[in-house]
Amino acid sequence: MNIDSFILIGGRSTRFGSPKALLKLDGRPLLDRTADTIRDALAETRITLVTSGLEQFLGLGTDLPFIFDIYEGRGPWGGLHAALAYARTEWIFVVACDYPFISSDLIKRLTAYIDHELDAIVPIQPDEKVQPLCAFYRVKPCLKIVEDILERNRPTPPLRDIFESVNTRFVKFEELSDLPNAANFFQNINTPGDLDSC
C-alpha cells in the first residue's frame, strides 16, 4: 500500500529553547533518525516535513520537501490538517519529530491494522494515553473532520478528540509490548532534561 508520511517539526519548542528537529541523540539529529525509521518501515513512502513557518525549517540541512500549516497558530491540529490537505494517497502516516525511539517494527505493526472500514489507527501508550502523533489517518474522512473542528473551535480541543468522530482502531499497548524497546516508543523530548535522560 502506498502511504505518504509526514514529520511534524513545527512546534515552538518553548520548553526546550531550540528547534527539536536539530537535537542530536547518539550523534544524529532527531529528524534524521525519524526519517530513516519511516523509510525502513515504509519503503515506498514519500516523506514531507510539516512546519508552522520558515524559521522552523531553516538550518535543518535536509533535502526533504516541506509544507506550511494552512491554519496558523493551531498547534498539532494545524500540522495534521496540512498533512491531510497535501496528501496524495488514501492513507498517511503522521509522526512528531521528537519521539526518537519509535521503531520501524512499531510502524509496520500499526500498518497491519489498516482496513477499508477504518479511518484511523492510533497506538495507546503504556500509561493508557492515546498517541495521535504517531498514527495512521485515512485522508478523506479525517480531513473533513479536522477542517470542521478548526473552523468551529478556538481554542482547539486536544488532538485526541478527532478519534471521537472517525472510525478508529485503538492499538492497545499490550498489542505492541512484544516489540523491542516498546516501553520507550513514546518517550517525548520536551526539555534538555528529557534529552539528557535518554
Q: In sequence order, which ranges of the chain are alpha helices (DSSP H)?
A: 30-41, 54-57, 75-86, 104-111, 139-152, 192-196
CA-atom Rg of the chain in angstroms: 16
Residues 6+ apart with CB under 8 A from 193: none
**Is 67:82 a contact under the CB 8 Å cutoff?**
yes
Total length of the chain: 198
Q: In this structure, which CATH number among 3.30.450.40, 3.90.550.10, 1.10.238.10, 3.20.20.100 belongs to the domain 3-196?
A: 3.90.550.10
Q: What is the pLDDT of residues 97-145, one digit of tens each?
A: 888 899 999 999 999 999 999 999 999 999 999 999 999 999 999 999 9
**Predicted structure pTM score:** 0.90
> What per-residue confidence (pLDDT) applies to 114?
97
Q: What integer pLDDT is reported at residue 47 of this predicted model?
A: 97
Where do the domains of the chain lie? 3-196
Bridge pairing between strands 120-123 and 134-138? antiparallel
Q: Dihedral through CA 172, CA 146, CA 43, CA 97, nearest 10?
A: -80
Per-range mean pLDDT, top range of 53-57, 71-75, 194-198: 71-75
Q: What is the pLDDT of residue 29?
A: 78
Looking only at the bridges linking them, the beta strands covering 24-25 and 168-171 are unpaired
